[in-house]
Every structure is written in C-alpha cells, then in structure tokens.
Amino acid sequence: MSTQRYEDELRSERSYVAGLYARLDAERARVKGRYRAALRGGGATPMERDVEVRALAREAKRLDVADNGLCFGRLDSLSGERLYIGRIGLLDEDNEYAPLLLDWRAPAARPFYTATGANPENMRRRRQFHMRGRDVVDFTDEVFGRPGGGERGDAALLAAVNAPRGDGMRDIVATIQAEQDAIIRLEHPGVLVIEGGPGTGKTVVALHRVAYLLYTQRERMERHGVLVVGPNPAFLNHISRVLPSLGESDVVFMTTGDLVPGLRVTEEDTPEAARLKGSLKILDVLAAAIADRQRLPEQPVPITLGGVTVRIDAETAEWAREEARASGLPHNEARAVFAEIVTYVLTERATARIGRGWLTRENREEWERVKAGLVKELADHDAFTAALDELWPILTPRTLLAELYSSRERLRAAGADPALWRAEGDAWTVSDVPLLDELVDLLGRDRAVDRAAERAREAEIAYAEGVLDILKVDDRRDLMDDEDHLLAQDLLYAEDLAERFAERDTRELAERAAADRDWTYRHVVVDEAQELSEMDWRVLMRRCPSRSFTIVGDLAQRRSVAGATSWGQVLEPYVPGRWVYRSLSVNYRTPSEIMEVAAALLAEFAPGVRPPESVRSCGVRPWARRVTEDELPAAIEEFTRAEAGREGTSVVIGPPGVPGAVPPSETKGLEFDAVLVVEPERILADGPRGAAELYVALTRATQRLGVLHLGPLPQALSGLTRVEAPVQAGQQSSS
C-alpha cells in the first residue's frame, strides 16, 4: 500500500470509528434515560419494574466499559463485505439488521481470530487498529493468500506481550489466537479442563470463555451468575478487571477460603494436616464426631413432671437415638425425633403415676387429656431442655469442629489422626473451609432459628401492610378522575415493600451470591485447580448442580500435598464421561531466554511434562549472583531501586524470612516485567513440592530475571549467566 493510500485509508477508518463512538454515546444516553424513567415508576407491576431497572443498569454498565477499545479491527470478505469487530455490538439506528460493529463473540466474528493464510475462511483481509483513547493511531493489514502472508496478528500479538505490565490482567480480546479461540467457543455443556504451562494464557482464555458463555447463554446464566475461584486475593485482584472490561459484571470472585460466608481464615495448616483434611476419609471423622455428641446418660436424669418425678434412662435415650439416626435427617433436625420419643416415654410414665388408682389406659380420652397437659408442660420445661441439650445438643459447624480440634479425647473418639489437634480450635485455615461447609449439610438447620426468622419475616410484612393502610386515601372515587395520581397500593404490594427492607434485595447479584452459602451458580471457573483437594471439589460441586465448569491448571505446578495428581481422579466421581480436556502449548509471557532455564528445572522434577514453547525472546539473559548473608539486603535494594525507574512491574520472590520478598505461592497466576528470585536453594529444599514452587517463581517474568543465592546454585539453574556485580536494569549479557 502506498503512503498516500495508507493515509487516505487511515482518515477513512478514523471517521468510521468516530461514528461508532457517536452511536455508542447516543445509545448510552438512551439507556440512561430509560433507566431514570424506570426508577420513577414505569412498568406494570413492582416486580416488572425491578426487572427492568436491573436490566437497564446492566446495559448501562456494559456500554460504559465499551468505551476503551470499542473497535479493534476489520474483516474484509472475498465478496467485498466489511465487518468491523469490537468489544460490543452496535446496530444502525435506522436499520437494526445492519450491524455497525460486530461483537467479538458473535459467530461471524470468529474468522478474525481463526483465519490463516492456509485457511482464510473466505476472508481477504484482516485489519487491526492501534488505538489511543478514542482515536485510531494506525493500523496493520494481513492480506490472506499472498506469498509469505503467514499466520495472523504477529505484530499486534508481540506488541501486546512486550508491553509493560500494569496493575491487573488485561483482556486479550484484540489478540486472541486460533488455539485460544477454539477453546473459548467450545460448545460443551459439562466440564472443560484447560491445561497449560506458564504464560500460555489459560486464565485469560477461561475468562473470555465466561464472557462468551454469558453472551450466547445469557438467559440461562444471568439469574444465577458465575463463580470464579482463584488461589489467593492478589490473584483475584489481578484478574478481576477482565470480565468487567468485557461488559460482564454478574461474576463472583472468591478463594476457596471465602466459600463459607463470614469465615475469617487466619492460620495455615501443616502439610500433613492439610493432607488429612483434604482427603475424603475426613468425612468418616466428621460423621463420627457428630455421633459422639449424641450421648446416652451415664445416670438416669430426673424430670419433675405434673408433680411426679420420672427419669430419662439409658434405655429410653438409646431407643430415641436409634429412631433419630434412622430418620436420615441431619443432626439438628433429627433432634425433634429424639425429643419426640423421649417425650412419649416420660409423659406415658408420668400419666400412669398421676392416675394411679383412678385412671387406666382403657379410658383413652381422659388418658390423652392428662398426657396432652404434660406434653405442653415439657415444651417449656427447663430441666427437660437442659437434658436434651446434653444428650442431643444443637450444634453449629464452627462449634463442633473447634471443639473437636482442641480436644484429644474427642479426636480419639472420632477416629481422627492426632495431627489434627491444635490448641486454638477456632483458628481457621483454608483446609477447614470444606469441612465447615460439609457440616452445614450434616448438621442441618436449627428449626427454632428458622421459625424465628419466619416470624420476623411475617412481622415485616405486617408492618408493610400497616404502612399501606396509613397511605390509603379514604375516598378512592375522588381520585379516579385524576389519571396522573397513583395510589400507594398501586405502586407497592405489602410483600414487595417488606422485601425492600431486606438488605439482600438491594444488592447486586454478585454481592447477594457471595453472602449466601446456599447460592448455586450456572457456571464455575476454577483457576490453579491442581491445588484443590478432594474436599474442595465437593464444595464446588454443591455450588453448581448443573456441573458446568471451566477448570484451569497445570499439574506440573502443583504445590499442595492434597492437590490433584490427575484430572480423571478429580472429575470422574462427579461427571463420569462428561469432561473434556484441552491444552495450550504456546507461551506468550515468558521469553525463551528465561523459559530455557525453567525448562531445565521442569525436566528434573517432571520429566514427562513438555514445557510450553515461547513465541519471543527478550535479548536479556537471566543472571545469577552469589552473595553473602550480609550483602543480601543491599543486593535486593539495588534491584528494587533499578526497577523503580522503569515502566512496568517488578517483584522479589523468596522463602520465608527474606525481607521484602513474597513466597512463590503468592505469585501463582501473576506476571511481572522483572523478577528477582532470592535463595532458590531454600525454595527447592522446602518440602516435597519445592521444585514446583521454584518453577513458579522462575516463570513469572516477562522481560528480566535475576537470582541471588547464598549457597551453591542448584544444578538445575546452571543455565543462568553468572555475574559478580549487580546487573543494571535492561543491561544485556551473554552466557
């Protein structure tokens, strides 16, 4: 293309994109106007108005996030049709069948990501825009079918992966590769496993898959939302902008430690305790711990009833216990069965004693009258309630588990390993979360609490009805002629008004879902899935009855002793034959110079795993420098100071005790322009998964990697360039 023609084309594209932004602004104004009108009371019923308000709020948010990078490319077909591809779809105001901008998730947009010189898919040209704000700075073209046309988008892709990192993960909507696109659009209703080594983009592919599913199955998914589970808060913060940038907000982000609402995780388990808690064998311990609290009295318990004394003996309690257990009800709900049997025995005995000499069982009417009075008396009988609490107590998950952990006697009674003992029973760890969640179902609800909640709800409705009575106008006929005047009861129903007092109905879907343990999601994304235990998977399967999952992981990076050793082991018990596996093989993050070093380590601890192939080199060799313990703080400071003057991000990764360093586990899924790994020999020696930890640390950098070591450098890192002095930021070196 000549320079003059390029300039003419650039002016034309700038004009077209400016028109798209004008259309976006007009649509945004229209939606916000409808939103304000809906808030003022448009709609047939309160429920319909609420639905409309929420739908318009979501649409307004979607239009707002589209402002950045609204349009990023164009497809020209062999027939001469031009399709502009962007973050959302926009229609011509005068012709709804004429798309001005095609949503990247639409089927017609797929060739933008999949067409190649060998398979152009009836396309002649792919054009990619480089934007600054709302302005087209320039564009690059790929014309299919010409000699040397090659694969798609290399220039745009390399520009994206070489760009300095910011505070959070960026979407890849403009540079999705064909391998990634095939996974994003995969039509599979069950479980999809995406495995890939460091830098293959598996996380961002999974997030774009969520955006695609929400686009294609919105009606099915939007009422229940999507859950994204990640390894730690830093990772979730890193990825949390991707879906909102694609216009999707009905997404809940959690770690496994957040799956029980309101629980605060403060401690970390030993590897052995984590292994024990993560195994399904812990279910037997939980069941035994509950059974241990269903006691028989060592001595008969006296109960004064109707002026006589009767006793709860071991025989009676054992009968009641057998009946309660046989009911199949959770522990707290089965208490009613236990209490019913004991009540029957006590009132029968008391009735017989009270009526001795004048009342027989043949006189059933009188017998039942006396007995009914005794049953009523037991309902508010303090000694009887105390006896029930001793023999069949109402239990909460936290109380049961805390008392189990802090009592060696209770652990023995439950058949638990002594390694689970701890002095502070309620010092919760991440591994406790699935156990507490399991206990919610094993223990069940406290019916007294449920009844209290129902009474409170009834009181709210009664209050709302009272408010409406006050607002009523005495003479309705006088208002019939005033068509602009609406009665209060025309605007609100009593129950609707009561609902508005409840916090849960004023929050967004994501907030309500995060606070509700019983919420179920239409789709769940699990990142760093190789770290989840068997018990963790039970929790997640409960959260998604439809078993619609996108699972992201890399078995070679597994750190947890309770984590997965194969995907089949994890999934077959829940979705036999309903899960598919896809892998990503190209490393877009880690330059070849760094990946060469990491691959040597991978070959040592996972010789059967093939490392991903890097698409680029950075021209800077990773280096290693041996320092003394006294020199270490200054060496770290030198790295930090040098990187502070550069654009992008940096991090120091090291074992516990290294000042200013974060552990490798806290950097999983993250990426930085520059990484300094400190004392790799200690990381490597830290437990059975130390090699995987070091592999994670080495593969976080997108540009520069340095290593400081006190002891001998591990043999696996012999590919690092040895230096005697600090390597200045950006300084090139050769081996």
Binding residue positions for ATP? 196-203
- Cα 670 to Cα 666: distance, rounded to the nearest angstrom: 9
DSSP secondary structure string, 354-390?
Answer: HTTTT--TT-HHHHHHHHHHHHHHHHT-HHHHHHHHH
**H helices, E strands: number in the chain:** 28, 21
- Reported for 35-43, long-range contacts at CB under 8 A and 24+ positions apart, including other chains, are 35/60, 41/486, 41/491
CA distance 126 to 141: 6
DSSP state of 226: E
Residue 325 one-letter amino acid:
R
DSSP 164-200: PP-SSPPP-TTT--HHHHHHHT---SSEEEEEE-TTS
DSSP string, 611-636: PPEES---S---EEEE--TTTHHHHH
Cα angle 190, 196, 202; round to 5: 65
Q: Please give the Cα distance from 666 to 697 (Å, whole number).
A: 10
Distances (CA, A) of 447 to 326, 388, 392: 19, 15, 14
Both tokens assigned to 725: 């002095």
Check if the beta carbon of residue 183 is closer than 8 Å to that of residue 582.
yes
Residues 6+ apart with CB under 8 A from 548: 189, 190, 191, 522, 523, 524
- Could you give the C-alpha distances from 707 to 288, 662, 714, in angstroms and in order? 50, 14, 11
Element (H, E) at 703: strand 701-709
What are the binding residues? Answer: 196-203
d(CA 457, CA 455): 5
Contact 250, 217 (CB under 8 A): no
Please, which residues bridge with residue 101 across strands? 90
Residue 433 backbone phi and psi in degrees, to 5: -60, -50
Q: Give the closest residue to 533 by CA, choosing from 669, 434, 606.
A: 434
| Residue 348: HSE in the Cβ half-sphere, 13 Å Cα cutoff | 9
| DSSP three-state, residue 702 | strand
d(Cα 120, Cα 112) in Å, to the nearest integer? 10
399 HSE (CA, 13 A, CB side)? 7
Q: In this structure, are strands 301-305 and 308-312 parallel, antiparallel, or unpaired?
A: antiparallel
Q: What are phi and psi of 194, to 5 degrees?
A: -110, 115
Strands (E) across 436-541 are located at 523-526
Task: Retrieve residue 373's tokens.
Answer: 């009075």
